[in-house]
Amino acid sequence: MPDIERWPTGRLLSTAARLVEHSWDENLRAIGLTHAGVIALEVLAVTGPITQTMLAQIVRVQAQTMGQTLNRLEVHGHISRRRSSEDRRVHVVSMTNDGSLALERAAEAEKRVLADVPIDVSMFRQELKVVVRELADRQVPVPAGAALNGHHAPLMPEE
């Protein structure tokens, strides 16, 4: 590996993020999830059933991208979609029991990724949250109604 002692912080952070995400993605595939699917399930765990459109707004992706993610989640039995009784054009998305179990397994898989790394994972998480909150405040505002319990909405990668 090149001399990482000279790398700027941004390069260290992005390289670490890619390595962690790659390892986590390998574990998620075994559960029938993707990173994007986990984010959608995390939002549903907090909000309960919501419209597909609102879910896309919360995670800051296009409706089409959310539709693709939800199609995969639905195939694996992690979510269900039904037409709204008020507007038949609107789909309401709900997490299933299988989705709740898959989300728990995803959290366990994430912990395993850093389990053998000799760092204080709790402190590392706290520091990362500070970075995310501080830098997110300088970014594009969250769409109206998209905040979760006063926190910024999670970002989801476009797939």
**Residue ranges, the chain, pLDDT below 50:** 144-147, 149-159
Rounded CA separation 26/6 (Å): 30
Q: Cα 100 to chain center, whole Å?
A: 14
pLDDT at residue 55, as a whole number: 96
pLDDT at residue 50, as a whole number: 95
DSSP state of 151: B
Sign of the Cα pseudo-torsion (128, 130, 134, 136, in order): positive
The answer to pTM > 0.95 is no
Q: Which residue reads 């941004």 in tokens?
A: 10
pLDDT at residue 158, as a whole number: 42
pLDDT at residue 101, as a whole number: 96
Strand partners, 83: 91
pLDDT at residue 140, as a whole number: 61
pLDDT at residue 138, as a whole number: 82
pLDDT at residue 137, as a whole number: 82
Helices (H), 59-120: 63-75, 97-114
**Domains identified in the chain and CATH numbers:** 29-107+117-159 (1.10.10.10)
